[in-house]
Structure 1
Amino acid sequence: MIFRIELRRSIAPWAGLALFLFALGFLFLLSGPWWKVPAPWTAHTTTTALWVRFLLQFLWPVVVGAGAIQGMRDSRSGMTELLATTPRPPWHRAIRLAAALGTLTGLAYLLVFGAGVVEVFAHGGFFSFAFVPVLLVGVLGVVAGGWAGLAVGRLVPHPLTAPGLAVLALVGTTLCWMSLEPDLDAVLPRRLGPLAPALAEPRGSVVTTTASLDAGQAVWFGGLAVTAFLLLSAGSTRARLLGLLPLVAGAAVALPLFPAVPEAAFTTDSHAARKVCDGPVCLAELHHDRLAAVAGPAREALAMLAKLPGAPTRVEEQVAPDSVSEPAPRDPDVVYLDFQRNDGLRTADAADLRAAVLAGAGVPSCVRPSSADLSDLGGRMIAAAYFTGELKPLPEYGRHWFQTQSGPIDRAWAQFRALPADVRFARIVALRQVLLTCHGDPLDTLVPGALR
Structure 2
Amino acid sequence: MTATATPPREAVGPPRTSVLRAELRRGAGPWVGAAVAVTILVTMYGKAPDWQSRWTDATDTLHVATGLLAGPLALAAGCWQGGRERRRGTLELLRSVPRGRLRRTLLAVAPSALWPAAGQLLATAVCLLATWPYVGGGRPYLELVAADAVALAALGTLGHLVGLLVPWRLTAPLLAVAGYAGLGIGAYTESAARWLSPAAEHSSPWDEPVWWFAPASAVWTGGLALAALLAYAARPARLRLLALLPLAAAVAAAVPVLRLPDEGPWRPDHEASRPVCDSGTPQVCVPALDRGLLPDISRTLAPLNERLRGLPGAPVRWVGGPNGPGAGETELPDPSLDAVRGRLRNPDLYLNSAVQWLFSETCRSEDFAGPEVERLGEVHLAVSEWLAPTPEGYGVPVGPSTERHLDALRAKSPAAQRDYLARYLAADRCRPEEVPIP
TM-score if structure 2 supplies the norm length? 0.69
Q: 1:426 to 1:129 in 2, by over 3 A?
A: closer
Partner in structure 1 of residue 161 of structure 2: 151
Q: Distance in 2 between matches of 1:427 and 1:277?
A: 24
Of residues 131, 139, 151, the one that matches 1:141 is: 151
Q: Which amino acid aligns with 1:315?
A: W
Q: Which moved more, 1:287-296 or 1:330-339?
A: 287-296
**Residue 41 of structure 2: aligned partner:** 24
Counterpart CA distance in 1 for 2:25 and 2:296 is 56
Say if 1:290 and 1:244 are closer, same or farther in 2 by CA, change over 3 A.
Answer: same
- 1:110 paired residue number: 121
> 1:225 aligned to 2:218?
no
Question: How far apart in 1 are the matches of 2:331 and 2:251?
Answer: 41
What does the per-residue CA deviation read over 1:2-24, in whole Å, with 9 as the maximum and x for residues that have no partner? 10111122432122122122233
1:111 Cα deviation from its structure 2 partner = 1.3
Look up the equivalent residue of 1:68 and give its one-letter code.
C
Match of 2:107 among 71, 93, 96: 96
Q: Looking at CA atoms only, which structure, 1 or 2, has the larger radius of gyration?
A: 2
Contact 1:12 1:104 in 2 (8 A): yes
Cα deviation, residue 352, structure 1: 7.5
Q: SS in structure 1 opposite 2:337?
A: coil
User: Are residues 1:35 and 2:48 paired?
Assistant: yes
Superposed CA deviations along residues 287-331 of structure 1, whole A, max 9, x for unmatched, are 4344345457386577456x33xx7543222257xxxxxxxx454
- The letter of the residue matching 1:154 is L
AA matched with 2:199: A
Answer yes or no: is the 8 Å Cα contact 2:148–2:198 preserved in 1: yes
Alignment correspondent of 1:339 = 335
8 Å contact kept, 2:217–2:253? no
* Deviation of the 1:125 alpha carbon: 4.4
State how far apart, in whole Å, the 2-side matches of 1:409 and 1:256 are: 62
Cα separation, 1, equivalents of 2:272 and 2:143: 15
- Seen in structure 2, the aligned counterparts of structure 1 residues 222 and 265 have a Cα distance that, compared at 3 Å, is same
* Distance in 2 between residues matched to 1:203 and 1:154, nearest whole Å: 41
**1:287 and 1:244 mapped to 2: Cα distance?**
47
- Which AA in structure 2 matches 1:317? G
Alpha carbons of structure 1 residues 214 and 13: separation in structure 2 relative to 1, 3 Å: same
Matches within 5 A, 1:230-309: 230-235=230-235, 243=243, 246-247=246-247, 249-254=249-254, 256-257=256-257, 261=262, 264=264, 273-279=273-279, 280-292=283-295, 294-295=297-298, 297=302, 300=306, 303=309, 307-308=312-313
Q: What's 1:317 paired with? A: 320
1:209-250 Cα deviation digits (max 9, x unpaired): 555653542332232232243234334676557626634652
8 A Cα contact 2:216 2:253, kept in partner? yes
TM-score normalised to structure 1 length: 0.67
Secondary structure of the residue that 1:130 maps to in structure 2? coil
Give 3-state SS (helix, strand or coil) of 1:390's partner: helix
Alpha-carbon distance between aligned partners in 2 of 1:236 and 1:383, rounded to the nearest angstrom: 82
Q: Residue 63 of structure 2 corresponds to which residue in structure 1?
A: 53
Partner of 2:12: none
Number of aligned pairs? 387
The letter for the 2-side match of 1:165 is L
Tell me the equivalent position of 1:4: 21
For each residue in 1:16-54, what CA deviation from the matched residue of structure 2 results, as whole angstroms up to 9, or x when unmatched? 1221222333344xx4xx134xxx232234433322222
1:390 paired residue among 367, 386, 389: 386
Q: C-alpha separation between the residues in 2 aligned to 1:213 and 1:273?
A: 22
Q: Structure 1, residues 164-218: CA drift from partner, whole Å, max 9, x if none?
A: 22221011122134x1xxxxxxxx44323233322437355x6655556535423
Q: Is the 8 A contact 1:102 1:146 kept in 2?
A: yes
Alignment-derived partner of residue 407 in structure 1: 399
CA drift at 1:86: 6.4
Q: Is the 8 A contact 1:48 1:113 kept in 2?
A: no
The answer for the alignment partner of 1:194 in structure 2 is 195
Structure 1: runs of 5 or more not aligned:
180-187, 321-328, 367-375, 432-441
Match of 1:281, SS state, is strand
